[in-house]
Amino acid sequence: GGNYCRVPDLAVDSKGAVWVLNMPDPNPGQPSLYRYNADKSWASFPWSGTDVWGSFTYNAMNDKQYFTSSVFVDKYDNKWIGSRTGGVFVYNESKYALPRFLQYVKGTKEEICGQDVKCMASDLDGGVWIGTDNGVCFFSDPNEVFLNKTIKASVPVYGNKALLKGETITSIDVDGSNRKWIGTLNSGLWLFSSDGSKLISHFEKENSPLPSSSIVDVKVNQSNGEVFI
């Protein structure tokens, strides 16, 4: 029916609050981000106006970049909110009223490595790794995004090119040795060293028990090191 809500993702912060994404209301200024608090109350965050980090005007009516798809909370309780067609918002309600929006526009504004943000994960050093439709990038200091300056994500180099450039990354997780397990849409599961520069293993349908080389999700059990794909 016509009266429904799309909820593509949710995440929990250090205080136990649940952050919920909602595909935007067709009315400008309506929130896409909600918080369900431990006391069972709700809060909403209707970003509107001019971004302090540039000149981005948040408008659910006319900007495809507002169609969010994933939310991730880092160790500093910053909310990283992936967009299907624009980049990633980074938001901390205790610091700023509006998020910073990091974009990928080839040749113009390459703050991250791809336009469609698929997944995000923290490593053991607190860095945030971002999987996109064009490989992987990361911010070693997540709070750097809130500095009023030009920033650009770091891109690991493997095989003399940007890590998994051109690949659609579907999932990232980190094991107890800070190694990165990276799932892809078409080329299986990759295990890289902590900095992403050295390939340790590459699992596909042809060389492993995987039933498919199209990976949907990967999770590491941090208590015993088991990896679930």
pLDDT at 32: 79
Task: Please say whether the beta carbons of 50 and 61 come within 8 A.
Answer: no
Taking the CA atoms of 56, 59, 63 and 64 in sequence, report the sign of the dihedral they define. Answer: positive
Encode pLDDT of 134-148 as tens digits.
999 999 999 999 988
Encode pLDDT of 24-59 as tens digits.
655 555 677 899 999 999 998 877 666 667 655 555
Query: Is the per-residue pLDDT at 172 higher than 60?
Result: yes
**17 secondary structure, DSSP code:** P
d(CA 60, CA 77): 25
Encode pLDDT of 173-186 as tens digits.
999 999 999 999 99
pTM of the model: 0.90
pLDDT at 60: 47
Residue 225 pLDDT grade (very low, low, confident, very high; cuts 50, 70, 90): very high
